[in-house]
């Protein structure tokens, strides 16, 4: 047998062995970070689902995020869901698929929670529910959350993650920005604090309204934060933008973000800030 035939035979066996072992490795054991592209054994991400190389927080469901922040939670408006106002084709099927994946009626979880020793109105947007897009149902839930927080004299903590307005609901989706913003203003006028936490991604109409209206704006490391897509902006202005243009790190440098907090320290930092808001509230009483 020639040298070339030996090489060919060896290569064929190697490919066969690789395919054999790949078939025995369960999906998800080896993961790649979408930010730094490092590959690692999935358990290295830990219970907080954070890349061990760059600190990027993987996108997780709202229910999983809730467990990272508190054990004390009373959900509000759990059954509120969209009525498909525009009768968009296949939209009903997409909604049902998202509901099954996230165990939510729509893309946000809201309710009364205790973070540290402090009662708060808590909202968590779910990036896995149609990209956390803002529709009529989750817009209504967030509005009601601010209204109940105002009535009960509670501060608000809202974790945002969204691809923007939900196109399947058209103008009804866009109306949610103004509606929520009005509820935010009433809550603020009552002298109550609002903390937003920017998760990956926070874009579009959510960025243009309530995500950017908080008294204190925190963010997770390496999260995408902006209005419209980088490529769209470049095509519009005919100019190349920096690679970090829509990162929270870039926004922090320019004063749009108050602090970047690692996911595993978020509950602790929120507790500290809530204690300050509580002291301020009593100081003004």
Residue 52 known to bind ligand: no
In 10 A of CB 80, how many CB atoms? 16
| Strand partners for 219 | 198, 260
Residue 54 known to bind ligand: yes
Residue 200 known to bind ligand: no
Residues near 101 by beta carbon (within 8 Å), at least 6 away in sequence: 61, 128, 129
Residue 50 known to bind ligand: no
Q: Using CA atoms, how far apart are residues 138 and 145, in angstroms rounded to an integer?
A: 10
Nearest to 266 by CA among 196, 208, 215: 196
Q: Assign 3-class secondary structure to 148-208.
A: HHHHCCCCEEEEEEECCECHHHHHHHHHHHHHHHHHHHHHHHCCCCEEEEEEEEECHHHHC
- Bind-site residues for Zn(2+): 33, 36, 51, 54
- Bind-site residues: 33, 36, 51, 54
């Amino acid at each position: 047998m020639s040298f070339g035939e030996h090489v060919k035979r060896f290569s064929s066996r190697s490919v066969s062995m690789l395919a054999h072992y790949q078939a025995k490795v369960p999906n998800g054991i080896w993961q790649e970070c979408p930010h730094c592209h490092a590959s690692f054994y999935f358990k290295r991400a830990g219970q907080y689902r954070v890349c061990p190389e760059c600190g990027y927080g993987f996108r997780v469901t709202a229910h999983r995020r809730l467990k990272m922040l508190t054990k004390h939670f009373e959900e509000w408006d759990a059954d509120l869901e969209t009525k498909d106002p525009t009768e968009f084709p296949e939209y009903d099927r997409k909604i049902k698929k998202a509901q099954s994946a996230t165990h939510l009626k729509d893309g946000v979880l809201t309710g009364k929670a205790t973070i540290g020793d402090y009662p708060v109105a808590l909202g968590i947007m779910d990036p896995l529910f149609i990209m956390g897009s803002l529709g009529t149902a989750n817009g209504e839930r967030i509005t009601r959350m601010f209204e109940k927080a105002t009535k009960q004299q509670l501060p608000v903590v809202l974790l945002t993650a969204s691809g923007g307005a939900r196109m399947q609901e058209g103008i009804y989706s866009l109306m949610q920005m103004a509606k929520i913003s009005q509820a935010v203003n009433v809550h603020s006028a009552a002298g109550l604090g609002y903390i937003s936490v920017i998760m990956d991604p926070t874009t579009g109409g959510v960025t243009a309204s309530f995500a950017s209206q908080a008294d204190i704006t925190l963010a997770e490391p390496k999260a995408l934060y902006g209005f419209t897509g980088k490529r769209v902006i470049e095509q519009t202005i005919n100019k190349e933008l920096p690679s970090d243009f829509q990162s929270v790190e870039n926004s922090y440098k320019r004063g749009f973000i108050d602090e970047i907090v690692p996911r595993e320290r978020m509950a602790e930092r929120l507790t500290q800030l809530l204690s300050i808001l509580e002291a301020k509230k009593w100081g003004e009483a």
